């Protein structure tokens, strides 16, 4: 019984740290998307753990798929949409390399 209480109590600091890390990395899109996905997966695992502790896992397990799927969706967005578009925009804004012709100075 004490392990159930400790397990549930550990959810709050774990989620708080995950949210804090996500907030701190909000300016770096690659870090932010991964940290949001991790936060969502911690939420899904927490829901699953609580449902098994209280014996209602068959009713709650389908709902655990929601935050897990959202985490996957965030990563799919980053790798399939954001990152390729960002690389194309970055390549388009870079100036093309021009070939420099040597100048002959006749004295």
Asked whether residue 98 is domain-assigned, the answer is no
Is there a domain that residue 68 lies in?
Answer: yes
Burial class (CB in 10 A: 0-12, 13-18, 19+), 5: exposed
Structural domain boundaries, residue 79: 11-86
**pTM of this structure:** 0.79
Residue in the structure block whose two tokens are 């799927």: 69
Q: How many structural domains does the chain have?
A: 1
User: In this structure, is residue 75 part of a structural domain?
Assistant: yes
For residue 61, tell me if it sits in a domain: yes
Q: How confident is the model over 4-44, as pLDDT tens digits?
A: 899 999 999 999 999 999 999 999 999 999 999 999 999 99
> What pLDDT, in 10s, does the model give residues 42-63?
999 999 999 999 988 888 889 9
Residue 104: inside a domain, yes or no? Answer: no
Number of helices (H) and strands (E), helices first, in the chain? 5, 0
Residue 94 lies in a domain: no
């Amino acid at each position: 019984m004490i392990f159930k209480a400790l397990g549930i109590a550990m959810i709050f600091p774990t989620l708080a740290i995950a949210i804090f890390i996500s907030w701190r990395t909000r300016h770096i899109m690659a870090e932010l998307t991964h940290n949001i996905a991790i936060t969502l997966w911690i939420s899904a695992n927490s829901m699953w753990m609580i449902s098994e502790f209280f014996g209602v896992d068959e009713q709650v397990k389908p709902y655990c798929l929601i935050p897990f799927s959202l985490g996957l969706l965030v990563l799919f967005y980053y790798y399939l949409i954001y990152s390729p578009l960002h690389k194309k925009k970055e390549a388009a804004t870079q100036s093309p390399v021009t070939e420099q012709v040597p100048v002959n100075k006749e004295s």
